Amino acid sequence: MTTQVIVLNGGSSSGKSSLARGLQAVLPDPWLTFGVDDFVEALPAALQASDTGIAFSPEGAVSVGPAFRDLEAAWITGIAAMARAGARVIVDEVFLGGPESQGRWRQALGDLPVLWVGVRCDPVTAATREAARGDRTAGMAALQAELVHRGVTYDLEVDTTHTGWADCAHTIAGHVAAGRP
């Protein structure tokens, strides 16, 4: 079975975006990368910092409303359609809703061959990265580090706390090359 979609799930500042770019460099075929940050940036300003869209608390908690969920469903369906049309896709995601978030992706991706990858990072390390980036709400990385993995099932997990994105990318690429899962 040839993997068509790789879903990377991890908290903010866990290294998913660097890992996704690394995968594009080491995988033999061209892969497109789409991240939840791309989706949030594409939202109209009225839905950013909104109860119906997405809101970030001063402590780093994220809440989403019905308009966000409606557009997210379209986003997920669109990415699945690209994969069905033949594109190989890497998804950089944050499953704030745990298994419910994964379920939305599972439903949209259907019978496509998907490699589900948990991207773990120690909360302290993620918080340090978050502070160095300066473009995130303080506290978000620590809050999400474990939350996004609760109840989620994976084919493979990597930990970026002490392992660089390049080594993690090669581990994932090995799974893809071996036709796993």
- Mind listing the pLDDT tens digit for each residue in 69-82? 999 999 999 999 99
pLDDT in tens, 22-74: 999 999 999 999 999 999 999 999 998 889 999 999 889 999 999 999 999 99
Query: Sheet holding 114-120: strands in order across?
Result: 31-35, 88-93, 5-9, 114-120, 156-159
Q: What is the pLDDT of residue 179?
A: 81
Gap between the Cα atoms of 100 and 85, Å rounded: 26
pTM of the model: 0.95
Question: Residue 48: helix, strand or coil by DSSP?
Answer: strand
DSSP string, 55-117: EE-TTS-EEE-HHHHHHHHHHHHHHHHHHHTT-EEEEEE--TTTHHHHHHHHHHHTTS-EEEE
Gap between the Cα atoms of 15 and 11, Å rounded: 9
For residue 5, what are the contacts with CB-CB under 8 A and spacing of at least 6?
Answer: 80, 83, 88, 89, 90, 91, 109, 112, 113, 114, 115
pLDDT in tens, 125-148: 999 999 998 777 889 999 999 999
DSSP string, 119-133: EE--HHHHHHHHHHH
Residues 94/9, Cβ–Cβ less than 8 Å: yes
pLDDT at residue 181 tops 70: no
Partners of residue 119 on adjacent β-strands: 158
Catalytic residue (one of 37, 122, 155, 159) = 37
167 is catalytic: no
